[in-house]
């Protein structure tokens, strides 16, 4: 059975250059329409767990359809191709010829078949002329997919700006993005403890950390330096099994680190021996520079 019989208002479709996602067609709507759709999605038990960025794009891409009195919007048992939000009017929800309830403006519906890939669980019929916002299933799926791609791109660009990774070939950097996790810390949290075994590498994505180290003649570890966004630590753990040489303590609330653990890294990227060689050389070069600096300081 086909859903609805109104022709799609294709003339209302146009590309909105402010839409962040080139794969989906945005449809201009005023702020009260956006508010109504967002509210409907957020108060639907099954849709409210979607990420805010997904919801925003769904809102952007919904287009309007008018259903006349007695017209079917959804037919029970049919395949589902759209997700809906009622803007104006009144709808009956019917299952096995039994009236289950009515839907009023500000209600999202038709989510079950779209989310769970099942047949329509109920029939939805216009009690009176109704204006309904519609999202095509394919667009919904594109939004979910492209958000993941956008996130990937965001991390990719960020990692490209990290000095350690700036010359890495594209496909390797992309592999690293695939095995990243994000960890959150509050001020004072220990991210790394000196002397412990370590198998994770961190890049600071937000906030600041403090590096401290035990020194002879002092009970308390001493602060060596602070690190900020784009700085990294624990890189030695990716190439060897050294114990941690310093403490790393979050210096701000909501400090965020991109984390890669050695096993995941080895599984995903480690087959590329040149990458490990690259990292090893980088760390070695850093140590040499450090050594040179210290020598220069001694001489002067």
Binding site for ligand CMP (CB under 6 A): 74, 80, 93, 100-101, 109-113, 120-122, 124
In whole angstroms, how close is the CB of 97 to ligand CMP at the nearest point? 14
Closer Cβ to ligand CMP, 110 or 207, answer by number = 110
Closer Cβ to ligand CMP, 100 or 179, answer by number = 100
- Compute φ and ψ for 130, nearest 5 degrees: -135, 145
- CA–CA separation, 237 and 24 (whole Å): 42
Place of tokens 């960020």: 158
In whole angstroms, how close is the CB of 1 to ligand CMP at the nearest point? 12
Count of other CB atoms within 10 angstroms of residue 196: 10
Place of tokens 């994770």: 200
Closer Cβ to ligand CMP, 67 or 185, answer by number = 67
In whole angstroms, how close is the CB of 47 to ligand CMP at the nearest point? 10
Closer Cβ to ligand CMP, 101 or 195, answer by number = 101
C-alpha torsion angle, residues 41, 56, 86, 75 (rounded to 10): -80
Handedness of CA 67, 70, 71, 72 (dihedral sign): positive
- CA–CA separation, 70 and 127 (whole Å): 6
Contact 234, 201 (CB under 8 A): yes
Contact 3, 74 (CB under 8 A): yes
In whole angstroms, how close is the CB of 99 to ligand CMP at the nearest point? 10
Structure tokens at 50: 């979607």
In whole angstroms, how close is the CB of 63 to ligand CMP at the nearest point? 18
What H or E segment, with its residue span, contains residue 35?
Answer: helix 31-42
Closer Cβ to ligand CMP, 58 or 74, answer by number = 74
What's the gap between Cα 143 and its chain centre? Answer: 12
Compute the residue count for the chain.
Answer: 300
- CA–CA separation, 55 and 144 (whole Å): 10
Closer Cβ to ligand CMP, 76 or 129, answer by number = 76
Closer Cβ to ligand CMP, 19 or 78, answer by number = 78
Count of other CB atoms within 10 angstroms of residue 209: 25
DSSP-assigned states of every residue in 165-184: GTTS-HHHHHHHHHT-EEEE
Closer Cβ to ligand CMP, 29 or 120, answer by number = 120
Would residue 182 be called left, alpha or beta, if left means φ above 0 and alpha means ψ between -120 and 50 degrees? Answer: beta
In whole angstroms, how close is the CB of 265 to ligand CMP at the nearest point? 42
In whole angstroms, how close is the CB of 224 to ligand CMP at the nearest point? 58
């Amino acid at each position: 059975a086909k859903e609805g019989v109104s022709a799609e208002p294709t003339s209302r479709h146009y590309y909105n250059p402010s839409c962040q996602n080139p794969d989906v067609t945005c449809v201009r709507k005023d702020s009260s329409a956006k508010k109504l759709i967002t509210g409907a999605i957020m108060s639907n038990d099954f849709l409210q767990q979607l990420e805010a960025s997904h919801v925003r794009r769904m809102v952007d891409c919904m287009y309007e359809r008018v259903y006349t009195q007695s017209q079917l919007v959804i037919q029970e048992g049919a395949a589902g191709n759209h997700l809906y939000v009622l803007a104006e009017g009144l709808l009956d929800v019917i299952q096995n010829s039994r009236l289950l309830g009515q839907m009023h403006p500000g209600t999202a519906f038709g989510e079950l078949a779209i989310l769970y890939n099942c047949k329509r669980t109920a029939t939805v019929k216009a009690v009176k002329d109704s204006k309904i916002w519609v999202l095509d299933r394919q667009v919904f799926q594109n939004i979910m997919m492209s958000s993941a791609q956008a996130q990937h791109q965001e991390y990719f660009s960020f990692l490209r700006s990290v000095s350690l990774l700036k010359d890495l070939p594209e496909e390797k950097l992309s592999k690293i993005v695939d095995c990243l996790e994000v960890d959150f810390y509050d001020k004072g949290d220990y991210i790394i403890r000196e002397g412990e075994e370590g198998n994770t590498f961190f890049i600071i994505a937000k906030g600041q950390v403090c590096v401290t180290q035990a020194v002879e003649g002092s009970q308390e570890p001493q602060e060596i330096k602070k690190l900020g966004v784009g700085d990294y630590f624990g890189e030695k753990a990716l190439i060897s099994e050294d114990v941690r040489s310093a403490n790393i303590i979050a210096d701000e609330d909501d400090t965020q680190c991109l984390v890669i653990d050695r096993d995941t890294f080895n599984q995903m990227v480690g087959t590329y021996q040149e990458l490990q060689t690259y990292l090893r050389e980088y760390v070695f070069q850093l140590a040499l520079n450090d050594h040179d600096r210290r020598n220069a300081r001694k001489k002067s």
